[in-house]
Amino acid sequence: MLHCSMSYFCLAMLHLPNPSDARDWCNVQRQTGRSVGFVPTMGALHRGHESLVDRARIENDVCCASIFVNPLQFEDGQDFNAYPRDLNADLAVLEAHGCDMIFEGTLESFFPEVEDVRRIPMISAGPFGRGLEEVCRPGHLDGVRTIVDRLFRFVGPAKAYFGEKDFQQTLVVMDLAESLGYPDVIVCPTVREPSGLALSSRNALLSPDEKKEAERIFQSLAAAAKAWSSGIRHAHILREKMIEQFAGSRLIVEYAAVRNPSAWTADDPPGELSHAQALIAARLGRVRLIDNLQLH
Ligand code: AMP
């Protein structure tokens, strides 16, 4: 039965602990002619997530979100355990932004047909899973595609909203949506601090000093954008401009890359780029941060 904390017919946001209840609610919405906009998240919500919910609300009859820290996309148990969680604050944010329903779940409830959740059949991330994130976090994008596939099947959204901040993830998800024939995947711009630092749930794990240091990540992307504006089109030169920004930094760069997003399979394509996305991942102590910027 669907329920919320106040009463069955209350106007407050519905909070469902179980994906099968969410599926029932979404089915009712569709059967009554309402389009469902969907925002999948791992919680610890910030203004980046809020921007997705705001857009989903505007573009659909009803908006639902999920909060699930997906173990399938963490290759490191410590990182999974350290991931920030604050459900009460998240519920308040979602309600304030007019979300109609939010649901949670467990691996057992997302994959009821699997007897042992250690044996969930993983879906390959596909062609856009190659390189960058997959090299640094093997299996991460397979884990993303596996859970997003499941979320889409439970929710059946007309449109699903993802942040450009996780650029390679958006390519994998768009490829998944194309293979399923739905939903429309809407990629929303990265919300940043005034310094340029991309908002991230993981920023909550940084000290004020570390946050300042993390600004170099955006500075490196800005350096690539400046070089692009000055006419530089070679990936390796653009990458050197990015790396230069980390001289003397405590940040450890995992990758700094410039790729043509539509020719993703090519590693560092030789020659001149016509379209280019600068992408970076760096670690500051135990915190891993990623960001990217369109150059063309
Ligand atoms: P997460 O909770 O980190 O899995 O993120 C949920 C969604 O929010 C993903 O589609 C992210 O790309 C998106 N997101 C995360 N940070 C930002 C940001 N700074 N601006 C816009 N979207 C974001």
End-to-end CA distance of the chain: 50
Q: 168 and 35 share a domain?
A: yes
Q: 168 and 272 share a domain?
A: no
**CATH number of the domain that residue 236 is part of:** 3.30.1300.10
Q: 213 and 142 share a domain?
A: no
Tens digits of residue pLDDT in 34-51 = 999 999 999 999 999 999
Q: Where is the domain boundary, 153, 188, 223?
A: 188
pLDDT given for residue 267 in this prediction: 54
Domain that holds residue 227: 201-294
Predicted confidence band of residue 4 (pLDDT cuts 50, 70, 90)? very low
Question: What is the chain's mean pLDDT, rounded?
Answer: 93
pLDDT at 272 over 90: no
Q: 263 and 288 share a domain?
A: yes
**Active-site residue 3, yes or no?**
no
Q: 104 and 161 share a domain?
A: yes
CA of residue 269 relative to chain centroid, distance? 26
Ligand 1: list residues with CB < 6 Å. 41-42, 48-49, 51-52, 162-163, 165-166, 188, 190-191, 198-201
Which of these is catalytic: 49, 140, 236, 296?
49
- The C-alpha atoms of residue 81 and residue 154 are separated, in whole angstroms, by 26
pLDDT average, residue stretch 10-27? 92
Tens digits of residue pLDDT in 202-246 = 999 999 999 999 999 999 999 999 999 999 999 999 999 999 999
pLDDT given for residue 176 in this prediction: 98
Question: Ligand 1 centre and the CA of 171: distance in Å?
Answer: 14
Phi then psi for residue 259, to 5 deg, are -130, 150
